[in-house]
């Protein structure tokens, strides 16, 4: 079943290739979505796909890129909108 998650990731997650990391992992898992830096220093991730792949992405969000230091990952689950195409960074 296709689901959607919206995550807010906090810690040292901006300026450390975190968005690129999320895009690459999301694509490898066959997900579609977006990742963007927010003005409060957090990163927002929206992803759609199979629930198992989304759960794996959440695990990867905690790990992050080599230079990242993730302190928290807040996750909200919902029904997929079906409007997202590809996995991309929002600048």
* Overall average pLDDT of the 44-57 stretch: 97
Domain boundaries defined on the chain: 2-90
* pLDDT tens-place string over residues 51-85: 999 999 999 999 999 999 999 999 999 999 888 89
Active site includes 37?
Answer: yes
pTM, full prediction: 0.95
Q: What are phi and psi of 25, to 5 degrees?
A: -65, -45
Which one is catalytic: 8, 24, 27, 37? 37
DSSP state at residue 30: T
| Six-digit token string for 55 | 């759960």
Residue 19 among the catalytic residues: yes
- Give the side-chain half-sphere CA count within 13 A for 19: 17
The class (CATH top level) of 2-90 is alpha beta
């Amino acid at each position: 079943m296709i689901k959607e998650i919206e995550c807010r990731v906090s810690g040292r997650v901006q300026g450390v290739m975190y968005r690129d990391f999320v895009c690459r992992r999301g694509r490898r898992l066959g997900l579609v979505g977006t990742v963007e830096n927010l003005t409060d220093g957090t990163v927002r991730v929206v992803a759609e796909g199979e629930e198992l792949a989304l759960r794996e992405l959440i695990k990867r969000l905690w790990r992050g890129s080599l230079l990242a230091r993730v302190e928290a990952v807040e996750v909200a689950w919902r029904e997929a909108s079906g409007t997202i195409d590809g996995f991309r960074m929002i600048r």
